[in-house]
A and B are shown apart, each in its own frame.
Chain A
Amino acid sequence: MATAPEIPAPPRRRPRPVSSGRLSAASGLGLGVGMLWLSLIVLLPIASIVVVALQSGFGPFREAVTDSEALDTIKLSVGAAVLVTVINAVLGTLVAWVLVRDSFPGKRIVEVIIDIPFALPTIVAGLVLISLYGPQSPFGIDLVGTRRGIFVALLFVTLPFVVRSVQPVLIDMERDVEEAAASLGASGFTIFRRIVLPTIAPAMLAGSALAFARALGEFGSVILISANLIGKTEVSSAYMLKLIEQNDTTGAAAVATLLLVVAVIVLVLLDSLQRLAARRD
């Protein structure tokens, strides 16, 4: 009766906890396929742009990126994209907040309208904008050929990004957390700053990164309203198209490379902000 319970010998290969540093076969395969896909879709084109930009040596590259017209377009594109991103981060969050927390007549309609800038082909967006803010503007506001016009166009096409990334996080946020803070004495503002903001910050920054990327490269919606005035409203994407049409592929690739560098810097910056926000309070 008193036989000791048999303890099975430990298996020679012990099962690893899920989160151990090493990979199981399945997740190794997943990682491999993912990296391959990423390489084909993203890294290869990027690498080829850099290669083309530098194919005639560093001299022509430097010439292309220090050209004053090129620099003007890059300054305009980057500056507009940054400004648009900041505005989006704030107002997009506000719109998401209102959509999640408030109820008002026509909310369902607004939900649908938000996505229209996504769904519209960008050139159609450009047409819509020019009919609203062109010479025949029903409001008497003519923005054609102005930087404000570019700005409005970019705001229009980037609206959904922050809204749509913040919204699900707000929906998932449990109300009792805010209620707990309130009963501990926190004012509405403190609750927002110390409880809500840290929770939604990663989503805000992710949405902002998307909005920035979109604004930096936007062409279709901008080209009509900007009228493409050299030195004033010419954006980088339009400038690159012009170079390509003039058979200056190397110049276009050089400008593209510079934009790429700016984009990477901004994305890395946003990413580290995100990490900072996600870090414990």
Chain B
Amino acid sequence: MSISVSGINKRFGDFVALDNVSLEVPTGRLTALLGPSGGGKSTLLRIIAGLEFPDTGSVEIEGVQATWLPPQKRSVGFVFQHYAAFKHMTVFKNVAFGLEIRRKPRAEIRQRVMELLELVHLEQFADRLPSQLSGGQRQRMALARALAVQPEVLLLDEPFGALDAQVRKELRDWLRNLHDEMNVTTIFVTHDQEEALEVSDEIVVINGGRIEQVGAPADLYDRPANDFVMKFLGPVTTLDGQLVRPHDIELLAAPGQEAIEATVTRLTRVGFEVRAELRTSKGGSEPWVQLTRIQAQELDLEPGRSVWLRTTHAPKTLAVS
């Protein structure tokens, strides 16, 4: 295990930010900490980095007891949401900072920094100041700076949170590739479930200071441990008092086995998909269903029409509300 966190409690005044959190992160993996705002993701990450200290519990990094080590002694690279660029230094100097602190020879620093800048595609911007870079470039610089000192662990706190959707998606893929190349154990925080599902090897869902579930993306999506995880990881709708994914409801044009009757109340097209809002005849629940355009055409869906629906394989959890 690269990072081993156990029994962490952290309060800010009366507020419990982390409640008995334990987590194992295997070496070389890309792990996402996913959860809603205020859930404690940053707090956990900062405790691992030594930027915050727990009230109780312990942190081990590569087998070394690190709970009370200052950040300088942890071999942890940290990337902040708002870049935390050294504004008065050039891109080159920013990346060189950690190496200069370690008093490496100049030639070695120069070579390593240029290598890293190439890796993050910023080699032609070495002499610029951070203020002369775009947000995405600044964040890549921050990443190169963190990687320069060859940390055992790389921690990223919503690294793409301040960027627009397009750049975000680009950097996300790029981070995945970079990780596959470098294989440094990485934890990144996000509250975007799509980002977590797409990029990570493993997802840790954290909410209200507790870990709700840990697992591979597909696992979490298909077998959520509870309502919260199910709702957080993808779209849900309620059918017969159960939470179901709207693409796991099958629509039939005629009565079928275990199918229940419903009326189409509304159709909405969103790009290639069609959302059908329904009302069941018995029980009067109002699920919505996600279909492709072709499916909708084949069923000849239109408001007022009767259809029959049943759930397919489907992860379900009991809707509590």
Contacts and interface: CB of A to CB of B under 8 A. Distances in A.
A28 B264 CA distance: 66
A190 interface: yes
Identify the interface centre among A181, A182, A185: most chain B CB within 10 Å of its CB.
Answer: A185
A123 to B, nearest CB: 43
B288 interface: no
A177 interface: yes
Contacts of A198: 88
A280 interface: yes
Contact of B97 (A186, A199, A278, A280): A186
B149 A176 contact: no
B74 A183 contact: yes
Interface string A195-214: 10011000000000000000
B101 A177 contact: no
B51 A183 contact: yes
A183 B75 CA distance: 8
Contacts of B142: 180
B298 to A, nearest CB: 32
B134 interface: no
A278 B131 CA distance: 14
Interface string A154-187: 0000000000000000000010110111111111
B225 interface: no
Contact of A176 (B50, B80, B89, B146): B80
Contact of B84 (A180, A194, A278): A180
A184 B82 CA distance: 17
A245 interface: no
B85 interface: yes
Nearest to A186: B101
Nearest to B78: A183
A102 interface: no
B97 A184 contact: yes
A119 B70 CA distance: 44
A198 B97 CA distance: 15
Contacts of A194: 86, 97
A280 B93 contact: yes
Nearest to B73: A185
Contacts of A199: 87-88
A198 to B, nearest CB: 5
Interface in B42-90: 49-51, 70-72, 74, 76-78, 80, 82, 84-90
26 contacts: A174-B82, A176-B82, A177-B86, A179-B71, A179-B80, A180-B80, A180-B84, A181-B86, A182-B71, A183-B49, A183-B77, A184-B97, A184-B98, A184-B101, A184-B149, A185-B98, A185-B102, A187-B72, A194-B86, A199-B87, A199-B88, A280-B88, A280-B93, A280-B129, A281-B88, A281-B93
Interface of A: 174, 176-177, 179-187, 190, 194-195, 198-199, 278, 280-281
Given A177-B85, A180-B84, A185-B72, 14 more contacts: A176-B84, A179-B71, A179-B84, A183-B71, A183-B146, A184-B77, A185-B98, A185-B149, A187-B72, A194-B97, A195-B86, A278-B88, A280-B90, A281-B89
